[in-house]
Structure 1
Amino acid sequence: MKKIFLITVVFLNLLSLSSCDNELELNNPNTLTTGQYWATESDAQAGINSVYAMFYKDGLWARWIYFRLDLTSDEGFSQSPWIELADWTRFNYINYNFWEGNSVTWRDTYKAIFRCNQVLANVPKIEFKNEDDKKKILAEAKFLRALHYYYAAILWENIPIVLEPSTPNDRPEQKNITEVWAQIEKDLNDAYTDLPTEWAGDQTGRPDKGAAKGMLAKVYMQQRKWTEAKTALEYLITGAGAKYSLVANYRDNFTAENENNSESVFEIQFGDQRKGGTDEGPSAAVSSNRAQFFAPRSIGWSDGQARFWLVDAFKKEKNKDGGLDIRLKYTLFYPDLLADFGDKTYNKTWQWGANEAWFRKGSRDYYRDNEDYYSQVNYRLIRYADILLRYAEVLNETGNTAGAYQYVDMVRARVKIGTLAAAHPEIGNDKTKFLEQLKMERVLELAGESVRWEDLKRWGDLDTQASVDKISLRDPDFKNFVVGKNQRLPIPQVEVDNNPNLSQHPEY
């Protein structure tokens, strides 16, 4: 039932090139043109499946995007011997065209958007037996286009908006971040209208109305549109889409067992049935490489690891039984893991130093003692615990701090941690103090889940030297951070050089 998109491989080399040379206008007899391809319902379905296939490319969720979202934040860092790679996690941007740090993620983002645009441009003209099936495919394309634009906006901010299938001569105009957010909102609201409330079991993994509302909440919150975010989140918590619940076992969110569970709002489906690369060939992998690159020394490449302050943060508050927060056990590898939890599931030959920590979420240590490029563990991009903590944040921001406590407590109760009010009576109804504690609550629940960078941006913690200085106390890489510059990546210079309508961010 799982991994519905993993079997389909579609080659969308459907772009007919135009040229004044007649020779270049000849059709390749071995490939289909766009005019020949988009004719049937099966063409439409294969077209939308090809968009999901972009999750498995190395510029996106197979590999490199985690270096931008997790390691650049104060949760992680890199000591990779590949100096240029490590430099791109510590704000030392020299070569703006560095492939693994920048260009490949830009390329794969717009490649995914191109595929969405192909679907949106060509599927409307295809005759379907059931028009609702057509509407669903178009809604999926809009959701996925919005998702890729969202992360592009988080990373680069002012970027081109492309809404039609591209041609080689296109030079799209750069748009302000405000316009980018507006387009994402439009796509998600359009998608919500025609997405189903749920999919049949054999279609698990496609976005539903809840996923659209979850993404909308993220978009609104990044703009500090608290009222709109509150409405979106209420759909998931108290409204028509309130079908979610926290799973009893916290670790069920990070293994290949019990995937797509009641806590999942949207997750990327990974599999290990093909052992190829990240190309477009028939054996191309549909796996995640994250665990291979983030694994402790001796079992993976160890290019990314967690900051040790996270271990200390987990130990500040005991559970109701007087023990440690169980989330620490399943969030991080660290030297005292065996002593703290009696955890004998990991191989004691794995190598780490006295004050080193490594991300454990998504690892496969529960059944093997090494990693590779073919992890089948789904990536939970949005889960209900995140939704509950976000709702607490918007309630606090809209003047209802007292009402926000219960949603934090739901997350704490799952791991037998006492109520927030009892643990921190000093907060009371103080909005600022509540937010400061909520920042810690989000770390304890969501560390290593690719949300911290957007959190830091949303909270304004990257906007002043004083706040950046505080971050640098727990992450020395932020001593390199330049306020007003490093909150966004430079645009790959080759893109700027090739497009007169695109300007490099002025601070670069």
Structure 2
Amino acid sequence: MKKIIIIAAAFLGIVFTACENELDLNSPNDLTTDQYWKTESDAQAGVNSIYAMFYKDGVWARWIYFRLDLTSDEGYSNSPWTELADWTRFNYINYNFWEGNVVTWRDTYKAIFRCNQVLANVPNIAFQNEEDKKKIIAQAKFLRALNYYYAAVIWEDIPLVLEPSEPADLPEQKNVAEIWIQIEKDLNEAFEDLPGSWPADQTGRPDKGAVKAFLAKTYMQQRKWTEAKGALDYLVTGAGAKYSLVPNYRDNFTDVNENNSESVFEIQFGDQRKGGTDEAQNAAVSSNRSQFFAPRGIGWSDGQARFWLVDAFKQENSIDGSLDVRLRWTLYYPDLLADFGDKTYDRNWEWNNDEAWFRKGSRDYQRDNEDYYNQVNYRLVRYADILLRYAEVLNELGNTAEAYQYVDLVRTRVNMNPLAVAHPEIGNDHDKFLERLKTERVLELAGESVRWEDLKRWGDLDTQASVDKIALRDPDFKNFTVGKNHRMPIPQSDVDNNPNLKQHPEY
């Protein structure tokens, strides 16, 4: 299956220098910024280089999943690499631990640097069609906002860098509230110039719907419910209501039906190159997630799912009395064969009776092991998430009765009873509806990198009582310190090298 991978390898070799010493010479084989940024093709390659950051190991190729999935109560690490496992159970000793912290910070700001390069230089390039220029600038704003969004979720108070960086720069740290303001600004400006859809040969670039989705996420993390409803209105009932749930739930997690009607924004992965995650010409454009999250025997098993997820699926059967089919495609667990007749369990995997693994994005439908070159696209936002967010926002705004229908759309796809039928005890009670919605989001979205931001938005990490409840299903939260572990420490090397950057005081 041929895939569209947005990347411009030639651009990646550009050397950006800020040399003050005349003895520092540029390589005659490398371009400098003074030589570059002249043509439309330069601009296009520049914006494409931002997409290439999706394939770096600090972010969406590998390590960010340890932060978003395994640090949450959905997952954990039992890796023999103790320090790696410790960073999913809040035992942060070495703030400079590369795989747990530094490389994600580095690649996040590297992506932001590439965005800033485009935003600083492309406006000065003459284009035959000014609309093409606007689209390039708008993509850079969206991608800068996306990277700052996850940085705000993970670290909160961080440097806000809006110009191309120089080696001597000492960027100032900003409160997370200022980071959110900049994210909102970038997204609102990007919305004006991005199209409602892209032609098929440009699949993978953000459109207006992707912008509104990240605006909704941004507003919701700040509990700006009215603004969030406005963004979600566009996707659900307004001009951008072009999405629908695909009939087959699993089609969201294989390479068979990618970029479908349910996809709002997804990362385009491929297996056509077998290199590393560096800047080489043969650098991979693949996901490593399944290699690290696969069961023992077919992968590294450095990341696992908490078994309470299996039990959550089994609390309620479908209309015909069978198990919720989402369980089959969400998790590997010992009774997979007995529950669904799924013979993938017969393969040479190593199990314990109380263990489970994330299944979404695995390639068990075409092979019996995993590697570093998984080509399955990662659906960063899909319409089912949007519908459940819409229900959450309506409930927060006092429209609980109206919110039911959007949860029911998600439940109906997998043949579950309407929410009011299955759980009549909820009624129009805000708190009961929210508690049930927390479960609905787990059943639909487990292992899709949204749970950590959910826990933060709901305030479940803010009190000892709520953390104690989480610890009942995830013992790692016995290590969680309220007022501290809701955000990660900043890499200490950056703090030491920048007098304008302070370590979070709780660390």
| Offset of residue 176 of structure 1 | 0.2
- Match of 1:383? 382
Does the CA-based 8 Å contact 2:269-2:286 persist in structure 1? yes
**CA distance in structure 2 between the partners assigned to 1:187 and 1:405 by the alignment:** 32
Equivalent pairs counted in the alignment come to 506
- State whether structure 2 residue 57 is matched by structure 1 residue 58: yes
Q: Relative to 1, partners in 2 of residues 1:457 and 1:9: Cα closer, same or farther, differing over 3 Å?
A: farther
For 1:165-180, what aligned pairs fall within 5 Å after superposition? 165-180=164-179
**CA distance in structure 2 between the partners assigned to 1:256 and 1:460 by the alignment:** 36
**C-alpha distance after superposition, 1:22-56 (max 9, x if no partner):** 212x4321111101111111111110010000000
**C-alpha distance after superposition, 1:115-165 (max 9, x if no partner):** 000000011111111110000000000000000000000000000000000
**CA distance in structure 1 between the partners assigned to 2:477 and 2:442 by the alignment:** 18
- State whether structure 2 residue 487 is matched by structure 1 residue 488: yes
For 1:216-227, what aligned pairs fall within 5 Å after superposition? 216-227=215-226
Does the CA-based 8 Å contact 2:8-2:48 persist in structure 1? no
| Offset of residue 16 of structure 1 | 2.0
**CA distance in structure 1 between the partners assigned to 2:202 and 2:8 by the alignment:** 13
**CA distance in structure 2 between the partners assigned to 1:480 and 1:443 by the alignment:** 23
For 1:41-440, what aligned pairs fall within 5 Å after superposition? 41-440=40-439
Aligned residue type for 1:121: A
Q: Aligned to 2:145, what secondary structure does the other structure show?
A: helix
Does the CA-based 8 Å contact 1:2-1:204 persist in structure 2? no
**CA distance in structure 2 between the partners assigned to 1:361 and 1:211 by the alignment:** 22
Does the CA-based 8 Å contact 1:9-1:280 persist in structure 2? no
**CA distance in structure 2 between the partners assigned to 1:9 and 1:292 by the alignment:** 29
| Offset of residue 6 of structure 1 | 4.8
**C-alpha distance after superposition, 1:318-341 (max 9, x if no partner):** 001100000000000000000000
**CA distance in structure 2 between the partners assigned to 1:289 and 1:225 by the alignment:** 35
**CA distance in structure 2 between the partners assigned to 1:133 and 1:484 by the alignment:** 46
**CA distance in structure 1 between the partners assigned to 2:167 and 2:238 by the alignment:** 46
Q: Aligned to 1:210, what secondary structure does the other structure show?
A: helix
Q: Aligned to 1:11, what secondary structure does the other structure show?
A: helix
**CA distance in structure 1 between the partners assigned to 2:393 and 2:370 by the alignment:** 39
**CA distance in structure 2 between the partners assigned to 1:7 and 1:170 by the alignment:** 27
Q: Relative to 1, partners in 2 of residues 1:480 and 1:142: Cα closer, same or farther, differing over 3 Å?
A: same
For 1:22-37, what aligned pairs fall within 5 Å after superposition? 22-24=22-24, 26-37=25-36
- Match of 1:4? 5
Aligned residue type for 1:370: N
**C-alpha distance after superposition, 1:221-261 (max 9, x if no partner):** 00000000000001001100000000000000000110000
- Match of 2:477? 478
**CA distance in structure 1 between the partners assigned to 2:10 and 2:343 by the alignment:** 40
Aligned residue type for 2:123: P
Does the CA-based 8 Å contact 1:347-1:369 persist in structure 2? no
Question: Structure 1 length as normaliser, TM-score?
Answer: 0.99
Aligned residue type for 2:23: E
**C-alpha distance after superposition, 1:300-352 (max 9, x if no partner):** 00000000000000000000110000000000000000000011244432111
Does the CA-based 8 Å contact 2:5-2:270 persist in structure 1? no
Question: Structure 2 length as normaliser, TM-score?
Answer: 0.99
Q: Relative to 1, partners in 2 of residues 1:339 and 1:7: Cα closer, same or farther, differing over 3 Å?
A: farther
- Match of 2:37? 38
- Match of 1:15? 16
Q: Aligned to 1:394, what secondary structure does the other structure show?
A: helix
Q: Aligned to 1:22, what secondary structure does the other structure show?
A: coil
**C-alpha distance after superposition, 1:282-309 (max 9, x if no partner):** 0100000000000000000000000000
Q: Aligned to 1:356, what secondary structure does the other structure show?
A: coil
Aligned residue type for 1:227: T
Q: RMSD between aligned alpha carbons?
A: 0.9
Aligned residue type for 2:97: F
Q: Aligned to 1:23, what secondary structure does the other structure show?
A: coil
Does the CA-based 8 Å contact 1:412-1:418 persist in structure 2? yes
Does the CA-based 8 Å contact 1:205-1:269 persist in structure 2? yes
**CA distance in structure 2 between the partners assigned to 1:52 and 1:437 by the alignment:** 37
Does the CA-based 8 Å contact 2:225-2:393 persist in structure 1? yes
- Match of 1:447? 446
Q: Relative to 1, partners in 2 of residues 1:55 and 1:9: Cα closer, same or farther, differing over 3 Å?
A: farther
Does the CA-based 8 Å contact 2:148-2:179 persist in structure 1? yes
| Offset of residue 15 of structure 1 | 1.6
**CA distance in structure 2 between the partners assigned to 1:299 and 1:8 by the alignment:** 32
Aligned residue type for 2:362: S
**CA distance in structure 2 between the partners assigned to 1:351 and 1:255 by the alignment:** 23
Does the CA-based 8 Å contact 1:102-1:492 persist in structure 2? yes
**CA distance in structure 2 between the partners assigned to 1:244 and 1:10 by the alignment:** 34
Structure 2: state its 5+ residue gaps.
none
**CA distance in structure 1 between the partners assigned to 2:215 and 2:503 by the alignment:** 28
Does the CA-based 8 Å contact 2:154-2:488 persist in structure 1? yes
**C-alpha distance after superposition, 1:197-232 (max 9, x if no partner):** 000000000000000000000000000000000000
**CA distance in structure 2 between the partners assigned to 1:47 and 1:220 by the alignment:** 29
For 1:495-506, what aligned pairs fall within 5 Å after superposition? 495-506=494-505
Does the CA-based 8 Å contact 1:346-1:369 persist in structure 2? no
**CA distance in structure 2 between the partners assigned to 1:100 and 1:4 by the alignment:** 26
**C-alpha distance after superposition, 1:434-475 (max 9, x if no partner):** 000000000000000000000000000000000000000000
Q: Relative to 1, partners in 2 of residues 1:6 and 1:249: Cα closer, same or farther, differing over 3 Å?
A: farther
| Offset of residue 2 of structure 1 | 3.3
Aligned residue type for 2:88: T
**CA distance in structure 2 between the partners assigned to 1:139 and 1:499 by the alignment:** 31
**CA distance in structure 2 between the partners assigned to 1:384 and 1:7 by the alignment:** 30
Aligned residue type for 1:348: R
